Structure 1
């Protein structure tokens, strides 16, 4: 037996494993690194986050990724070069985190890497009848493994597509395994660049559990701030949006998209919801001369309304929302959600469930890696997406 296979076998049989979860989202703010002690598997999964940090990306990283990010046409040579470059950079970041935490790389069972999404194209978005769903994440897991000396599991979304689904969202698996409750119906709301939710009925029935993208979270707001309020990267504390007024005509145009009429589960990305989408909405609503503060106020309300509509669509009596992602730091957005969702019993953060809301997505991929290593097959249909008993993740050895 190859030593690497033997080590994986030993890891799979352990009662608990040390797994580093990595998440780099569409906001491009940094690499989330979560060192997790994962005990058990399946519905018996227990998580203890030992360390968490976000390693901020410098402007060079952001500039390089933005040249290919969510662009239908881009430099293929640059994409090819970025794939190993991002992987090596992420590996270096992990090694520095381990040094800071005084943790030996040899003690880590595996790294779980999401990679950096640069293009997401479900069949509902692209116009190629000969093709099905597609998604592309760069950040080669071989580079991470070689750089850190730690076996790395990555490229999770491709199996989701191979099994007939859309590659996103993957939150249904980790959310169900870790956050389900027999005592209350929960909606796990993640507000990153794109917002998504997982519906967890207190019945615990797998057939009723689903995850779905909702629409834009912070992606258009952040892009707008970066374009017109540089050097700011986002609207801190929603101060800019609070100083503006919502424009009803622009809001109506923004909300007029076929995606919002699709049944959940569904998926989308910044390939659709971006500054070009905003500009088209402004053209249609004759609001191109609107001041920047009013645009941001309207974008904030647009995001709140889209999220609230999805929550209200699936909420049951006394449902509790547990929020995570960058959107939780936007007080205007959170206030609007509470106002627009009167049937929700309470809005809380995943801190109340024992997981730092900023770390949740990185922890999710640690859970997926743990399932790849140690779990019996689960069957989650996610309603119409037809997922049953799939194992996600490709294994990269360090030598």
Structure 2
């Protein structure tokens, strides 16, 4: 066993997740144990600069260039902090897997744009500050062999969650929702994964706009609102929701611009809008997983959305025949799940083993993921 750190910052922008793990083996024989975890929030200044870089209206190459280094410093600090919390010295740390912060994702070529993805948070800075080898840029290699570069976590989910005789649907609800289907056959070639649609992103944008709150804590605003059925029907008619898998999405489809267009068309009470957005997430998940519900099925929810009680209640109402659980109910951490995945993927890469799942991303073949910055 060796110590490793996985680093993740998602579309929710709620900070950098850092998971310290013990890890050994490779491929199906991989063994992972979570030692410690923390989330390091972004400063107000950094958060504002990320939001500016994400926006087509306010972004520019100078801002992105600087932010790449700034986030490298932030990711390095998160790795150092989780090691300090667990009293693990850097000499004992074998490697770091860093996802970075996604700024833009184009899963398919369109017009004059290549299929491409961009995550920033300079690996050289992380490497130097932590004196540790860093694996980063996981999505690009999958796209180079015809995949969409997403979802990125299915390989780790296969290693950690496969359960004989039970179909497990692993639903992550970060800014965007994504599901991994692990059939009871247990074969990695039978796995399917794709983005279900919006997770917390629309709810978060509405909370920020109306209440200057980063998110709807425990789903309190949504619980006080009333779902507008006409708006919900319009949202469910969105082209992405109707699109067959494999598919991926992001803020470019459901971020601030989407919310702005929503507010221009619909004049509703803030809490009604948040309740409807919450129901939209629940219903889009339900629609996405419906074809995979056969026999004994567990829907295991992770990510920040798993703490939104109103959202979880809505998901349970959509599929009463399914056992809906959150990560903690099966002995895992909702918050740490994707950061742990980065450590698993980095471990695969350093051992020259594949980390993508072609049946999930649409890639032509299995390949190791990531770029290695050696210390």
TM-score range, shorter chain: over 0.9
Q: Supply the distance in 2 between the matched residues of 1:192 and 1:379 (Cα, whole angstroms).
A: 20
Of the candidates 33, 41, 49, which is equivalent to residue 64 of structure 1? 49
Q: Supply the distance in 2 between the matched residues of 1:383 and 1:365 (Cα, whole angstroms).
A: 17
For residue 188 of structure 2, what is the aligned residue in structure 1? 206
After TM superposition, give the deviation of residue 177 of structure 1 in Å. Answer: 2.0
For residue 365 of structure 1, what is the aligned residue in structure 2? 342
- Give yes or no for the alignment of 1:151 onto 2:152: no
Q: 1:147 to 1:382 in 2, by over 3 A?
A: same
- Give yes or no for the alignment of 1:97 onto 2:82: yes
Q: How does 1:289-368 map to 2 (within 5 A)?
A: 290-344=268-322, 346-368=323-345
For residue 136 of structure 1, what is the aligned residue in structure 2? 118
After TM superposition, give the deviation of residue 350 of structure 1 in Å. Answer: 2.2
Q: Supply the distance in 1 between the matched residues of 2:134 and 2:360 (Cα, whole angstroms).
A: 30
Q: How does 1:66-81 map to 2 (within 5 A)?
A: 66-71=51-56, 74-81=59-66
- Give yes or no for the alignment of 1:239 onto 2:239: no
* Secondary structure class of the residue paired with 2:341: helix
After TM superposition, give the deviation of residue 384 of structure 1 in Å. Answer: 7.0
After TM superposition, give the deviation of residue 73 of structure 1 in Å. Answer: 6.3
CA contact 2:149–2:361 (8 Å) conserved in 1: no
Q: How does 1:187-198 map to 2 (within 5 A)?
A: 187-198=169-180
CA contact 1:42–1:375 (8 Å) conserved in 2: no
Q: Supply the distance in 2 between the matched residues of 1:257 and 1:145 (Cα, whole angstroms).
A: 42
Q: Supply the distance in 1 between the matched residues of 2:75 and 2:261 (Cα, whole angstroms).
A: 36
Q: Supply the distance in 2 between the matched residues of 1:281 and 1:342 (Cα, whole angstroms).
A: 30
Unaligned runs of 5+ in 2: none
After TM superposition, give the deviation of residue 70 of structure 1 in Å. Answer: 4.9
Of the candidates 9, 13, 17, which is equivalent to residue 28 of structure 1? 13
Of the candidates 83, 107, 110, which is equivalent to residue 68 of structure 2? 83
Give the structure-2-normalised TM-score: 0.95
Q: 1:328 to 1:245 in 2, by over 3 A?
A: same
For residue 49 of structure 1, what is the aligned residue in structure 2? 34
Q: Which has the greater radius of gyration? A: 1
- Residue-by-residue CA offset, 1:216-261 (whole Å, 9 max, x unaligned): 000010011011101x211112111111111111112222211112
CA contact 2:345–2:355 (8 Å) conserved in 1: no
Q: Supply the distance in 2 between the matched residues of 1:34 and 1:214 (Cα, whole angstroms).
A: 25
For residue 145 of structure 2, what is the aligned residue in structure 1? 163
For residue 239 of structure 2, what is the aligned residue in structure 1? 258
Q: Supply the distance in 1 between the matched residues of 2:71 and 2:255 (Cα, whole angstroms).
A: 23
CA contact 1:317–1:343 (8 Å) conserved in 2: no
CA contact 1:318–1:343 (8 Å) conserved in 2: no
For residue 112 of structure 1, what is the aligned residue in structure 2? 97
After TM superposition, give the deviation of residue 102 of structure 1 in Å. Answer: 1.6
Unaligned runs of 5+ in 1: 1-15
Q: 1:376 to 1:93 in 2, by over 3 A?
A: closer
In the TM superposition, structure 1's runs of 4+ consecutive aligned residues that sit over 6 Å from their partners are: none
After TM superposition, give the deviation of residue 165 of structure 1 in Å. Answer: 0.7
Q: 1:378 to 1:200 in 2, by over 3 A?
A: same
